[in-house]
Structure 1
Amino acid sequence: MHSYLEFEKPVADLEGKVQELLAMQDNGEAVDVGEEITRLQTKADTAMKEIYSDLTPWHKTQIARHPDRPHFIDYIKGLIDEFTPLAGDRKFAEDEAIQAGFGRFRGRPVAVIGQEKGNDTDSRLKHNFGMARPEGYRKAVRIMELAERFNMPLITFVDTAGAYPGIGAEERGQAEAIARSTDACLAMGTPNVSIIIGEGGSGGAIAIATANRVIMLEHSIYSVISPEGAASILWRDSTKAQEAATNMKITAQDLMDLGIIDRIISEPVGGAHRAPAKIIERTGNMIADCLEEFDGKTAAEIRQLRREKFLAIGSKL
């Protein structure tokens, strides 16, 4: 059974009735409800298509945060063979919010970094809801330096509301750690590809997403601050988050038009969580296409292309 968002209520009601009829049929309480099930399911599918054909930025924000969307660990299982995780920043501690290691992507050795939010209470607490502390970004830098040393491409999966804003994180140099991670992305002589699979929140996302190619899932979001945070600052009213989401240009489509991202991966009707295997396969195909663009290029050329990409952002506005 799917978990429905508030704006999906019409579909939830219809699919709920379908489930009731199926249960009655399985228990032998209904003579022949096959035709009614088909009618209701067709109606539910049509309603879902209509809803998803006219999504607002706030709707996309809710979809991007859906707890059932595929997480970093799902992409690792589906795309990376022989994955070997590395832990710790060699300075302070291990940060479970950022997962990193090495493996093979379709036969090619790669380094992988990603934010993991967790999918139940225990794992969410373990991974701090995907909000990394300074040691998480320092671990990311360590992986980037190793990737370059061994001439491996880097693939990053972004899914965070932002870096952890706690006092301890600030005391240990959160801003400096994010800046160094961003700088390490820019300095890599091997290609890096970043995929925003859910939320791309502020510096917490940019720290591992300053890549040769930045890709977004169709219903993911990427922003300098959360809509709730922007509403609190601009209007001193977090209930205006919907208005903030609309004005901030946080959707994949808006960011593609602005030249901030490079490609969009289409999602099935209903979002990535309704067909995770399909979306993981599409993501793999997109990553492969992007990496092939840099085959045969020197480290200097890869750095220069990345530099030009980011310097060009905003130049045509």
Structure 2
Amino acid sequence: MTTPPTVFVPRTPVQAPVVTPRRYTLLGSIPEAPGDADGRWERGVDYWSSNCNLRTGYVDGWCPPTNEAGEVEDWDKEVQRFDPTRVEGAPFTITSGVDCQSPVFPAPAEAEAALARGEDLQVEQRFWAMQMAREDLVELHPGDVVGLDDAIGYLEEEAAVRYAGQVFIHVPIRALVHLAQLQIVTVDRNVLRTPYGSIVIPAAGYKDQTGPAGAAAPANGWWLLATGQPVYRRSEVFSHEAFDVKTNRRGAIAERTYVITADCLAMAIQAAPCPCTPAPTTP
């Protein structure tokens, strides 16, 4: 039996379709802060946050205590010293390059387009790694793998007593299907929220990421990450090209610098679609 020859059928060249942008990315869910005019922020930034200082007290009664003579006695009040948390954002640069054997190849434009296509993924991967390496990261119920619904609840409960703002919960995309089945997330003006109002970010760059100290994710489960308010700064895209006259090749590299901060809250927990282990025994 012989194979019939392949028949070349000419086609009409057309423009590639304009793709619909991906939803719920990290950069699409958090605000961008303006950078300094002189670019100093590209060396990294820091600030002092009081949003994790929720300590307070109370006084019994509604009027100052007095003695038998009607004189106001000393109030027994606890005074907390000013104790803000230092938040730091280190810079990182994402890059992309192209190369083609053609003297008229639009290398800078193609390099910048390639950078834009993978920008969200690269930024998300770097953000996760940097947050899991924070010195102030708190692991909830270490050693336990809890059900996904419980994991969200633990993160929100701890955030409520540790942080003054809205918490951001970062999850791998595969976990979103289970969150939807559990009716934990709803769409609110192009962001995902829990019933408590926490913003959920299911990012492609969180896939197969490790936890604190490089700990692997549990079998058939994930690490979840909760942070305070994230903000990003980024430079304009910079590209430079080169042409090799001997090989007739033209190439270019495009790059962009980022600094992302996440406010003073940072927590991690191991979760699975169902409670695969007994209820946590650690506080």
Instruction: Please state which band the TM-score falls in when normalised by the shorter chain.
Output: under 0.3
Larger RCO, structures 1/2 (Cα 8 Å, 6+ apart): 2
Structure with the bigger percentage of helix:
1
Question: Could you tell me the TM-score, scaled by structure 1's length?
Answer: 0.24
Per residue, is there more strand in 1 or in 2?
2
Instruction: Say which one has the larger Rg.
Output: 2
